[in-house]
Amino acid sequence: MELTNSGNPETAPVIALVWGGSGGHVTPLASLYRSLSSIHPEWSWHWIGEKDSLEQRIAWADRIRFDVVYAGKLRRYLSIRTFVDPWKNIFGFFQALFIFRRYGTRVVFSKGGYVSLPVALAARFMGIPVLLHESDTVPGLANRLVARFSRQVFLGFDEAKRWFSGSSVEVVGQILSPVYLQAQRGTKHYDTSRPVRLLVQCGSQGSSRIFDRLLATPDLLSRFETIVLLGTKNEHYREAFESVGVRAMEFAPPEELVSLYQWADVAIVRGSATILAELSLFDVRMCIVPLPETGGDHQTANARVYEKLGHVNIPQWEFLDPAFELVPVIDTLVYRSIHEDSRTRSSYDRIETTLVALLSDQSR
């Protein structure tokens, strides 16, 4: 696959995108590419990540050149891999050096993940500026390390500032798809003449427990008009949901998600910063069930921010309890007034302008 949007290799800035991990961090990179490549078609892009990964599939779908590097997790417990992974990072460092020299990379934009560490170290070694965006209230270890030698750190939440006291920091909110920003939005008012429209969007990781809980109470699902987004790893749930009259979809691109977000009154979600921001943008009331196993329990911290705005934060143990009554929660939530997070909403429009200015400056 050819490198996309290639201008004059002598003058055009070449920008590397870096992330390896969940879709909540991969999709913002794709959104960033789509926004900036339309404004600056002369820029060249390449994506660095892991082999056979979600980021590889998304990069290829957008015709972005993708290069594989090896990387090891930063484990803080004793395991056989604790001794193997450092060697992966060393190898990944030299792979990144080769990739940067091959393309003449001028800027690295990282969303984090353990794959970003050897890449960012290689960029630092070559004097290439690194820009970092941290979506969550509690950053992972890799991002805290990468921030130490980043030119600029962008944050999705004010609450994350305390983790980056030694860095140049700016709170800009989440990176959202241009499709969402251009869509028709507004304050929602529930129409009592119809059932509540419920969207279940829990991603691929950690969603099975939510699905099992909902399927165990089919009367709950039948009370609402429900659509479930299964995620790429949960296709086997489709038949079970459809048997109780629930529409199930494996995946929805941004264009379809716009329609779903405009349609939904209430959503049951995990605590992904990107998904929370997308739903908030469309004024969807949220029942947030954070996944507690995430690094630093950052989903719980994300959920608490949105709880202050009027959304509902339900601990997983409580949601999974058969005695927990979800119907009254949804029936109350649909009428609740939600406070607008003006800082986050204004940042949606501001982030692209900020990044364009910084990337342009670093690409000269």
Q: Residue 346 is encoded by which pair of tokens?
A: 């204004």
Residue with tokens 């400056």: 361
Strand partners for 46? 16, 65
Q: Residue 47 is encoded by which pair of tokens?
A: 């994506």
**Burial bucket for residue 162 (CB in 10 Å: 0-12, 13-18, 19+):** exposed
Fold identical between 14-176+344-362 and 191-334?
Answer: yes
Domain ranges of the chain: 14-176+344-362, 191-334
The CATH architecture one would assign to domain 14-176+344-362 is 3-Layer(aba) Sandwich (3.40)
CATH of 191-334, one of 3.40.720.10, 3.30.70.260, 3.30.310.80, 3.40.50.2000: 3.40.50.2000
Alpha helices per DSSP H over the chain? 23-39, 54-61, 80-103, 116-126, 141-146, 178-182, 208-215, 218-223, 238-243, 254-263, 273-281, 298-307, 316-320, 326-333, 342-362
Q: Residue 93 is encoded by which pair of tokens?
A: 């460092």
Q: What is the dihedral of CA 205, 210, 212, 214, to 10 degrees?
A: -150
Indicate whether this model's pTM tops 0.85: yes
Q: Find out whether 106 and 362 touch, Cβ atoms under 8 Å.
A: yes
**Closest CA relative to residue 316, chosen from 331, 332, 303, 307:** 303
User: Could you list the pLDDT tens digit for every one of the 364 residues in the chain?
Assistant: 444 554 454 556 788 998 766 666 788 888 888 888 888 888 899 999 888 878 888 888 889 999 999 887 665 555 566 666 778 889 999 999 999 999 999 889 999 888 899 999 999 999 998 999 999 999 988 899 999 989 889 899 999 999 997 768 988 888 888 888 888 777 788 888 899 999 999 977 678 999 999 999 888 888 999 999 998 788 899 999 999 999 999 888 888 999 999 999 999 999 999 999 999 999 999 999 999 887 788 999 999 999 999 999 999 999 999 999 999 999 999 998 888 765 445 454 566 676 667 656 655 5
DSSP-assigned states of every residue in 334-357: TTPPPPP-HHHHHHHHHHHHHHHH
